[in-house]
Chain A
């Protein structure tokens, strides 16, 4: 066996108090496709950033082609032949393919002559190598997504890349486009390149990977070989494992319900959604109900359409098909203003951009969605605002210098509590929580969980969107799973984490409830 192209041992990386990578070991041999698998937040993206030099690792060693590397920078990574093909190609859409390749590969000195003929020849040869069926004179905006990915791959080959990282390359591809991409991957493998292949689609792993490593909670859990059967489709079989094992490794066994939620059976349906869809946000055919006093968890992979669904219900991207009922009455929601008036609140995923206004004070943020109630006639009442803010600072335990402190001065967890306080003050009937504990520390997280539970005890209906399975399992009465823009499963009982992961990946088994 030849020496490894890339060897990582015991890589650690922390961001503040969050450990993203906790001793990951990984290696890549020439001529292999090594799949990297893991749930949301398992550490895949961080690992890629360490490999490409975007993040320095805190501990561990890295060797490229047998040579140890200390302090990798992005420029060094490129010169060592490491290239990453992202899901969304970063080409200039208004330039031609040849111009893009030239910009990527030629010298970046500000005053140099462009040798157009050489540039064209190089581009044509690279495009031939990746089997592209279009000319270098094509404008990039005329190319489909996979064609653009081919251009990216051509650039990587042209730069002499021997280590190619492909981050969910098939996420937005159609079946024939995928086949095209697999052909190129196979070609690269036979030429001796190593490919790190990240995908959520398990069938793809079996389709093209030679080895698979599963990451979970920042650790490399397992690395296994796959054996190619040599059949025409090139399908491989796992060496002593199958898809179920992969899912099990991704999820781990420690994920069980941490507390038994009180069933909300018999309570009236508060929010009912029937056949809901919105063309521009790619969400379609969603049907479910949330009862008063119930938390319905909503999980799925990143990009499955969960936030898009929340945006529809909050009037940010109004629905164009289907029906929404509140307490049985059909409603149309075409703006957040209307949603709030109807009693729907939305704690958005992106706290700093959407959830709060950093430059305004704690009190001004908390009162922001209750202006009409708190300030009749439109006249600000500083005393009333102060009282309201003090109430919620006390109730949620917000640590702040005072009601007039700018929210920017608070810690992430306390900012999130301010965002929560705004919706508690609005006293909604339905509250949509989108990743409510993302980026907050453990202490604030359990406090936020406690507040969510106490809200439903008061009869609120909560739709809880979270990528964290433990959070979903701990809080939800029922759990919906979204995939590719629609609700694919709704679990009434106590699903296991593995069942949820299967549903999120689209590998439903006979025992799982279809939606």
Chain B
């Protein structure tokens, strides 16, 4: 193999290639099955619907990816989305600032929340799982306290609601934001030294430190980015529903993690791609929508979504492992087993 002339044909790339092709096939199968059996599935309206519903989870998954690439996890982004949504509503309705200023406020609050995670994880060296589990409760709790559990902010101006309900040339307005996030994160992860460092840290934080990479700063920036984008997602979420409540984005952190892992990222860090994550979001988004369109499952769609998602995730983890076992020469690269 003349590898110097074909630098992208390495072991790693081959695995990623296979994984992403697998996801594309899965997506194609979904579209065929739901298109054939589903009611009004293959319509422009439904396409827009699927995209609208996937935007927040997509944004969270895109920023969950670098966190997971460092070998970390962020369970707090869904709760932070809720807190940002509520504070956005508070700023606009009770403080009386214009919605664009309140929107900036939402992103700043998200950044502060992310910075709090980053501080606890990189300065106090606490485990990300526990830190973000705590802030997962904390952020949601604060959102509930601010609204006393019942208050909801509504009556936002049309110009704001357009973000969640409007369309640009046949595409939902928030798709533009998701696209911008996708391009931005893809460039960060795949084309900058930041992404290279994030990956190196995930493979071996000690190795990265000995190479002189600013390990703690890079890890911190990943959590800050996740927080800021959670603040952005709070805006599209609020604009989509027209109301900001304390329960906004409940469970979205798990959906985002599912998409990232389904997209081929290693939960131990280092491996994963934006393309895989986007495909993971698409597969899950189409699945959730498609199941509600099948006549046979109209009443049981939500339960079925859970079952099928779980099975898909398990299959995506088990299949490469089984392939590796069947092929002792080790040409199929899978999740590392020896990492703590």
Contacts and interface: CB of A to CB of B under 8 A. Distances in A.
Q: Bound pair: A and B?
A: yes
B192 interface: yes
Interface in B294-335: none
B122 to A, nearest CB: 13
A337 B270 CA distance: 21
A312 B191 CA distance: 34
Given A336-B210, A369-B212, A401-B3, A359 B10 contact: no
A355 B210 contact: yes
A369 B210 CA distance: 9
Interface in B148-205: 191-197, 199-200, 203-204
A402 B13 CA distance: 14
A354 B193 contact: no
Interface stretch (A222-230, A231-239, A404-412): A404-412
Nearest to A344: B212
Interface string A389-418: 010000000000111111001000000000
Contact of A346 (B3, B192, B210): B210
A73 B115 CA distance: 54
B278 to A, nearest CB: 21
Nearest to A315: B212
Contact of B209 (A336, A360, A361, A380): A336
A368 B11 contact: no
A390 B4 contact: yes
A370 to B, nearest CB: 9
A361 B10 contact: yes
A386 B7 contact: yes
B100 interface: no
Nearest to A375: B193
B200 to A, nearest CB: 5
B12 interface: yes
Query: Could you say which interface size class chain A belongs to?
Result: 35 or more
A382 interface: yes
Contacts of B208: 357, 368
Nearest to A386: B7
A339 B209 CA distance: 12
B200 A357 contact: yes
A215 interface: no
Contacts of B10: 361, 402, 404-406
Contacts of B209: 316, 336
Contacts of B195: 380
A371 B4 CA distance: 22
A452 to B, nearest CB: 19
Interface string A309-349: 00000101000000000000000000111011000001010
Contacts of A337: 212-214
Contacts of B1: 401
Interface in A240-265: none
Contacts of B191: 379-380
Given A357-B200, A360-B203, A422 B211 contact: yes
Contacts of B13: 404
B47 interface: no
A141 B151 CA distance: 54
A478 B265 CA distance: 50
Given A364-B196, A371-B196, A402 B212 contact: no
B207 A353 contact: yes
Nearest to A409: B11
A337 B217 CA distance: 12
B8 A404 contact: yes
Nearest to A336: B212
A346 B8 CA distance: 30
A360 B200 contact: yes
Contacts of A402: 3-4, 7, 10
B12 A406 contact: yes
Interface in A429-449: none
A356 interface: yes
Contacts of B3: 401-405
A380 B8 contact: no
A359 B194 CA distance: 17
A358 interface: yes
Contacts of B45: none
A353 B204 CA distance: 8
A378 interface: yes
A359 B203 contact: yes
Contact of A368 (B4, B7, B12, B213): B213
A404 B10 CA distance: 6
B206 interface: yes
Nearest to B199: A360
A404 B2 CA distance: 11
B4 A378 contact: no
Nearest to A402: B3
A383 to B, nearest CB: 10
A390 B4 CA distance: 9
A354 B213 contact: no
Contacts of A346: 210
A364 B213 CA distance: 13
Contact of A354 (B197, B203, B206, B270): B206
Nearest to A346: B210
A368 B193 CA distance: 9
Given A337-B213, A346-B210, A380 B203 contact: no
Nearest to A365: B211
A390 B207 CA distance: 22
A369 B196 contact: no
Interface string B1-22: 1011001111111000000000
Interface in B213-242: 213-214
A382 B196 contact: no
A70 B191 CA distance: 59
A403 B4 CA distance: 7
Contacts of A339: 212
A380 B196 contact: yes
A46 B158 CA distance: 78
Contact of B207 (A316, A354, A404, A409): A354
A357 B271 CA distance: 13
Contact of A353 (B4, B192, B199, B206): B206
A356 B207 CA distance: 6
A354 B210 contact: yes
A379 B204 CA distance: 22
B212 A357 contact: no
B139 to A, nearest CB: 31
Contacts of A382: 7
A368 B214 CA distance: 12
Nearest to B202: A359
A378 B207 contact: no
Contacts of B199: 360
Contacts of A361: 10, 12
A354 B1 CA distance: 30
B213 A379 contact: no
Contacts of A409: 11
A290 B11 CA distance: 43
A403 B7 contact: yes
A105 B10 CA distance: 52
Given A357-B204, A375-B193, A369 B211 contact: yes
A-B residue pairs, 3 tightest by C-beta:
A402-B3, A340-B212, A368-B211
Given A354-B210, A378-B192, 16 more contacts: A353-B204, A354-B207, A355-B210, A360-B200, A361-B10, A369-B212, A371-B193, A371-B196, A372-B193, A380-B191, A380-B193, A382-B7, A404-B3, A405-B10, A405-B11, A406-B10
13 contacts: A314-B210, A346-B210, A354-B210, A368-B208, A378-B192, A379-B191, A380-B193, A401-B1, A403-B3, A403-B7, A404-B3, A404-B7, A405-B10
Interface of B: 1, 3-4, 7-13, 191-197, 199-200, 203-204, 206-214, 270-271
